[in-house]
Amino acid sequence: MPATQKKILPLSRIQKLIGERMLESKRTQPCFYLTSQADIGEISEIRRPLSKQLGARISMNDFFIRAIAAAIQKFPLMTQGDISVGLAVASPAGLVVPVIKNADSKSLAQIAKESMELIEKARTGKLSLDDLQGACITLTALGMFGIDSFLPIPVPGQRSILSVGKIIVQPIPAGDYINVRKIIEFCLATDITKVDYEYAAEFLVEITTLVSNPQKLIAG
């Protein structure tokens, strides 16, 4: 092929579908965006020993899903029905969003085991239609790519989506010493036709508070 000749790669069926659905979301769900930071120092310290204790590999996202579900219990307008949380996962076919059903009724260990199963099914192309249905909110993360924060687009039919960026090490002066905090930034995109600014802000603050103080997430 000559160096000047361009090769146009066609979109896959799932890429076209994702594009169509995101365009539908932008057209039909006017969103506002709220950002807030959380200190994940305690989660970083307890995650590995907790995984051994519970017999399940607990990821950061598992804590976030648990926090989202707990926060929706306090702010029920964030769902139109069950408290089921979608998790955006890269698959060979494209981006898919398997769902942790009734996440509010599940422990951190149960969420961890189920999310691992869904991620494996996504990567091997074994997700069922039921695995992809029923979420009221989606968690999407790009921190593994070095992204600080980003503005996500809600899945059509869902009232909001929560994005999370990379861990940022933040020095904090404390007298003659420097303390170090591990910070992440959340961005909540919410459909303004369903939820107002103040309600969504209180919801996001509840999530960041739970993430920064994760003992309640473990005990539940």
Structure confidence by residue, pLDDT tens digits, 146-198? 999 999 999 888 999 999 999 999 888 878 888 889 999 999 999 999 999 99
pLDDT tens track for 88-101: 998 887 889 999 99
Q: Is-contact 157 193, C-beta < 8 A? A: no
Residue 176 in domain = yes
Residue 7 has pLDDT above 90, yes or no: no
Say whether 167 sits in a helix, a strand or coil.
coil
Residue 117 in domain = yes
Domain that holds residue 155: 30-219
Residue 94 in domain = yes
The residue with greater pLDDT, 199 or 23, is 199
Residue 97 in domain = yes
Count of structural domains, the chain: 1
Residue 8 in domain = no
CA distance 146 to 201: 26
Return the CATH number at 62: 3.30.559.10
Residue 96 in domain = yes
Cα dihedral angle (119, 125, 130, 134), rounded to 10 degrees?
50
Residue 78 in domain = yes
Q: What is the pTM of this model?
A: 0.90
